[in-house]
Amino acid sequence: MKKVKVMSLISIVLIISMLAACSGGSSEKTSKDDKKLTAWAWNINVPVLEAAAERFKKENPGFELEVIEIGREDVYSKLTTGLQAGGQGLPDIVLVEDDRIQGYAESYPKAFLDLSKYGFDEHKDKFPASKTDLLTVNNKVVGFPFDGGPTGVFYRSDIFEEAGVKAEDIQTWDQFVEAGKAIKEKTGKPMLGLDLNNDDGLYRMMMNQQGSLYFDEKDELTLSSQESMNAAKVIKQLKDEGLVKNTVGWDAWISAMVSGEVATAPSGAWLTGSITGQGKDTSGKWGVIPFPAFEEGGNRASNLGGSNYVIMNSTDKKQEAYDFLEFFSTDEETQLEAMKGGLFPTLNTIYDEPIFTEKQEFFSGQPIWSTFTAQMDSIPSVNYTGNYSLAMDESIKAQSESVSGKKTMKEAYKAAEKRLENRIK
Amino acid sequence: MSQTRIIPYLFIAPAVILFLVFTAYPIFSSLLLSFQTFEAGEYSFTGFDNYVTLFHDEIFHKALMNTFIIFIVQVPIMLILALVLSSVLNSGLLRLKGFFRVSFFLPTVTSLVAYSILFSIMLQEEGIINTVIGFLGIEAIPWLSDSFWAKASIILAMTWRWTGYNMVIFLAALQNISNDMYEAASLDGAGKIRQFFSITIPQLKPVILFAGTLSTIGTLQLFDEPFNLTKGGPADSTMTLGLYIYQNGFEFFQFGYASAIAYIVVVLVGILTFIQFKVAGDR
Amino acid sequence: MEAKTSNRIEPNFHKDTKVTRNKKIPQKLGMYSILMIFLIISIFPFYWMFIGATNDSGKMFTNPPTLTPGDQFMKNFQNLNESINIPQVMFNSLFVSLIYVVAALAVCSLAAYAFAKYEFKGRNFIFTAFLLSMMIPYQATLIPLFRMMSELNLLNTYFAVIAPQLCYPFAIFLLRQNFLAFPTELIEAARLDGAGELKIFLQVVAPSMRPALAAASIFLFMTQWNSFMWPLVVLNDASMYTFPVALSSLMGLSYIDYGQVMMGVSIATIPIIIFFLILQKQFISGMLGSAVK
């Protein structure tokens, strides 16, 4: 009988240790009573949130915010897991990017708090329409606008100078291609780095610029539309003329720019943070011009990237979370701090602050921020839809086939549209 | 006597309880999920719909094909390399064995964060790998942007990471082949290479099988390399079953569909393992 | 007992009388050159990682690449420590991994011993079920497992991080193969002496199985130390983060300090190398039992 006793002893110890671990409990359950809020965010957003919380605390004693720093991709892994498990283990506040938010809001209609019920509408005109439209899903306002990605072409002024090309003269994509040819001829350097097989950022910016993305406002596919062909044509042209350096992945792309291997990078305003951070030695060798248009005098405003704060419906501190984020989103000091970290605020009440007209040393004395604020009101609203990820997957394939010449441009995009239709039904 | 009959059950009890709770239950639950479809926040039973869709899913077919190609090419290369390395390391003539052993094992323990950053830099068109082969007079290879070379890159990266792991397994087994066999063979005039094929390989057969099974499981679930290096591109040429499961779940929110793929993977691993054992057994 | 004799790592060819000294030199040269090529391939990324850790962020991307150590070692270390609190993360990772190794070893070795040395109903069925479960991709079971942890109110605990992998089929398999090699007569002799079954396991069998246990420990330690996705979704508190999760939190969108990241991955690699070095001799002979059966 002795052995049985020993074994049951072991089992008991095991069970007790399990129970002990259970009673350790999860922090979000134990903190139910107090006013402490939890937020998930990445990178530069963390100190911005924390500083804002400090200021908010002065007016609201007892308020507390715990910001948990999580990698950008990791936030989505955790958010998806929590939502799939029916709203378990989620914080009160989450940072979600523009291109993801509609996907979540449509796939999980009950995930995010409807802010219009809490009075968000009074702040609507403080943000560009492109942003508030994005955040309105099925007549609900699902998030607070935070930063945006008004686009521009970042360029290496040293390379342009060497080639004798004036960046300011580039008004259209045709001129952009021509400038690229001249630079290639004089310096041997490609015009831009693109990850043609894995990313379609340039295509998306061009589509947004022309008023839609993968879907128009009626949810119709646009991959084979005229706009799409315009965009794809420029990309194919750039590639065919040898103006594209194929950079695979983010690291290589940034690297190509700061090491001066490519002349330009069409991108969102937030790229400022990356190039000033990674290329400290290249100060004074940069400039920014607005996005080229498809025809003379055409729209030059577009958007790439940006993020928003959502309140999870699973929280029991909805009002507290709303009050804080309302403060956060409309507080000018907060937005200016975010700017220091390279984020471009969408709160338009601050665009008259001095920083927006200040000359930036890094960009050869150019007041780059005004280039971006100038276009905020002209950025077309875009319908991302819940099928954005699927659409992007197909769009990238179409781009890859189109530039490699495996299929003609039209065929490639037609085929992708067809595949996409099958995948979303 | 009845007591001793209870003992083994007591011994396996902790493992079985943990298994039932933390492994069997989630597996069962995801099996149920594979018969459901997710729509606007709700799951509903749709029978075999996911499996039927899978049958017509071109990307799935591609993923299956890619995984199969990688499996057929990579596993033998890696196992042969591991065999060679372990034989060389085992052949008494060398100093610094411990040093080599640790060095070859190192890639196995790399953190994925470093792995993805370093390899994506190295495999760029003007990256260090192309620079090195440039010295040998070979033209730059489009490692990550050509569908053939992207697969090759995945295979290279996997081989880099896992050869040392298998080498250590083989090295251990080699210690167990008695010297007498080799001595007898060399007295008969068999050269080193003959010895390798007529003694080493047959003696190692069970271990090779063991390593092969582990690699089969690893390859069919292959995720890290394509996720970090190619995201499945260009044009799905490096899409693998593991990556497709992840994408369907975490990017397209179709966990039911993802589970269905996972169960296909299970059946495939089962079949392949069975074949491996059959082939090895018949020899 | 094989396990004991194999502790000495005996070269197989050293008695090879037919090969003369002169003949050995080119052969040696060939072997060393093979080894050197593989050595460079294996180690280069690690060397580069270290270079990255001593240089400023952008230096990883210069062309031609920077391959000499820089002087930013301390700065990167300090920055990293500000971002992730290195001692805390190191402690968490070590704590979780070591507890896991001990607990999993207990669970797995007991089960493996039972599978190897007892006849009982359902033995093969259970063993096969364990092995088959290895074939399920983790992406498929992540959500159900998470939901269960949350219903048990176990989210954000180390228990939740460790528990799902405690019954680790690969370790059970490895250990079982070794236990099979253990002479049954010794067990029976001990039984005749009146020793209890658990005592036999702990005092007779386990001590001679140290190499196998060491081998299993390395695999278990590696598994837990590098485990990423599961700790990421289960832990909700930065002060509980393990290394892979903490390092991944450095990966933002527009700006990544590569000097910091490389410093972090370098540090995270050290303990696992030490662990391997400590156990490698035993590990190599520990694989033995599993190998020949």
pLDDT, tens digit, 9 for 90 and up, residues A111-156: 999 999 999 999 999 999 999 999 999 899 999 999 999 999 999 9
Share of chain C above pLDDT 90, in %: 19
Residue tagged 């251990």 (tokens)? B172
Enter the pTM of the model. Answer: 0.85
C-beta atoms of A251 and B120 within 8 A: yes
Residue tagged 């499981």 (tokens)? B217
Domain that holds residue C97: 2-292
Contact B151, B226 (CB under 8 A): no
Buried b / exposed e along B246-282 (16+ C-beta atoms within 10 A): bbbbbbbbbbbbbbbbbbbbbebbeebbeebeeeeee
H or E segment at B138? none
Task: Quote the CA–CA distance of A256 and B242 in Å, as a whole number.
Answer: 31
pLDDT(A19) > 50? no
Write the residue in C157, C232, C245 that is nearest to A26 by C-beta.
C157
- The CATH number of residue C103's host domain is 1.10.3720.10
| Residues of chain C with confidence (pLDDT) below 70 | 1-24, 58, 60-65, 252-255, 283-293
C-beta atoms of B111 and C268 within 8 A: yes
Residue C228, chain A, CB below 8 Å: the answer is no
> Is 3.20.20.10 the CATH classification of the domain at A150-304+363-424?
no
Best A5, A7, A9, A70 member to test C by mutation, with max C CBs in 10 Å, is A70
Residue A424 vs residues A206, A218, A389, C81: alpha-carbon distances, Å: 24, 15, 11, 46
pLDDT of residue A25: 41
pLDDT of residue A152: 94
DSSP state of A44: T
C-beta atoms of C137 and B109 within 8 A: no
- The token duo for C166 is 């405690």
Task: Quote the CA–CA distance of A399 and B190 in Å, as a whole number.
Answer: 58
Write the residue in B8, B117, B118 that is nearest to C118 by C-beta.
B8
Q: Residue A164 CB: number of other CB atoms within 10 A?
A: 10
A174 burial level (CB within 10 Å; 0-12, 13-18, 19+):
middle
Give the pairing type, strands A303-311 and A93-97: antiparallel
C196 contacts in A (CB within 8 Å)?
2-3, 6
**Which band of pLDDT confidence, cut at 50, 70 and 90, is reported for residue A11?**
low
> A28-148+306-357: which CATH architecture?
3-Layer(aba) Sandwich (3.40)
C-beta atoms of C196 and A3 within 8 A: yes
Q: What one-character-per-residue DSSP string does A297-314 give?
A: T-----EEEEEEEEEBTT
Helix (H, G, I), strand (E, B) or coil at B37: strand
Q: What is the pLDDT of residues A351-401, one digit of tens each?
A: 988 989 999 999 989 999 999 999 999 999 999 988 898 899 999 999 999
A249 contact partners, CB below 8 Å, separation of at least 6? A195, A198, B120, B144, B229
Q: Which of A356, A373, A226, A231 is nearest to A292 (CA)?
A: A231
Mean pLDDT (chain C, rounded): 81
Q: What is the pLDDT of residues A220-240, one digit of tens each?
A: 999 999 999 999 999 999 999
- The token duo for C285 is 């002979």
Task: Quote the CA–CA distance of A67 and C173 in Å, as a whole number.
Answer: 43
Widest Cα–Cα separation across chain A: 94
Cα of A295 to nearest chain C Cα, Å = 31
What is the chain C residue with the closest CA to B202? C292
pLDDT of residue B143: 84
A6 contacts in C (CB within 8 Å)?
196, 198
Write the residue in A6, A22, A27 that is nearest to C152 by C-beta.
A22
pLDDT(A14) > 80? no
pLDDT(A6) > 80? no
Mean pLDDT (chain A, rounded): 88
Write the residue in A76, A107, A247 that is nearest to B124 by C-beta.
A247
Task: Quote the CA–CA distance of A189 and A262 in Å, as a whole number.
Answer: 6
C-beta atoms of B175 and C10 within 8 A: yes
pLDDT of residue C22: 56
Task: Quote the CA–CA distance of C247 and B112 in Å, as a whole number.
Answer: 10
Q: What is the pLDDT of residues A181-196, one digit of tens each?
A: 999 999 999 999 998 8
**Which band of pLDDT confidence, cut at 50, 70 and 90, is reported for residue A178?**
very high
Task: Quote the CA–CA distance of C156 and C240 in Å, as a whole number.
Answer: 8
**What residues are paired with A308 via a beta bridge?**
A96, A145
Q: What is the pLDDT of residues C255-289, one digit of tens each?
A: 677 888 888 888 888 888 888 888 877 766 555 44
C-beta atoms of C253 and A259 within 8 A: no
C-beta atoms of B120 and A252 within 8 A: yes
pLDDT of residue A231: 95
Residue C231, chain A, CB below 8 Å: the answer is no
Residue tagged 């440039």 (tokens)? B134
Q: Residue C100 CB: number of other CB atoms within 10 A?
A: 23
Q: What one-character-per-residue DSSP string does A68-124 give?
A: EE--HHHHHHHHHHHHHTTS-S--SEEEEEHHHHHHHHHHSTTSB--GGGGTGGGGG
Task: Quote the CA–CA distance of C149 and B245 in Å, as a whole number.
Answer: 22
Ordered structural domains, chain B, with CATH: 73-282 (1.10.3720.10)
Domain boundaries, chain A: 28-148+306-357, 150-304+363-424
C-beta atoms of A84 and B255 within 8 A: yes
pLDDT of residue A13: 54
Write the residue in A25, A44, A89 that is nearest to C255 by C-beta.
A44
pLDDT of residue C3: 36
C-beta atoms of C284 and B172 within 8 A: yes
pLDDT of residue C10: 40
Measure CA C2 to chain center.
24
pLDDT(A22) > 80? no
pLDDT of residue A29: 43
pLDDT of residue C12: 44
Residue A36 vs residues A54, A61, A67, C233: alpha-carbon distances, Å: 13, 11, 10, 21
Q: What is the number of domains present in chain C?
A: 1
Residue-level pLDDT, tens digit, chain B, 283 residues: 455 678 889 999 999 999 999 999 998 988 888 888 888 778 888 888 888 888 888 899 999 999 989 999 999 999 999 998 888 887 766 677 778 888 888 888 877 777 877 787 788 777 778 888 888 888 888 888 888 998 999 999 999 999 988 887 787 777 767 777 888 888 888 777 788 888 888 888 877 887 888 888 888 888 888 888 888 878 888 999 889 999 888 888 888 899 999 888 888 877 877 787 777 664 4
Helix (H, G, I), strand (E, B) or coil at A243: coil
pLDDT of residue B283: 42
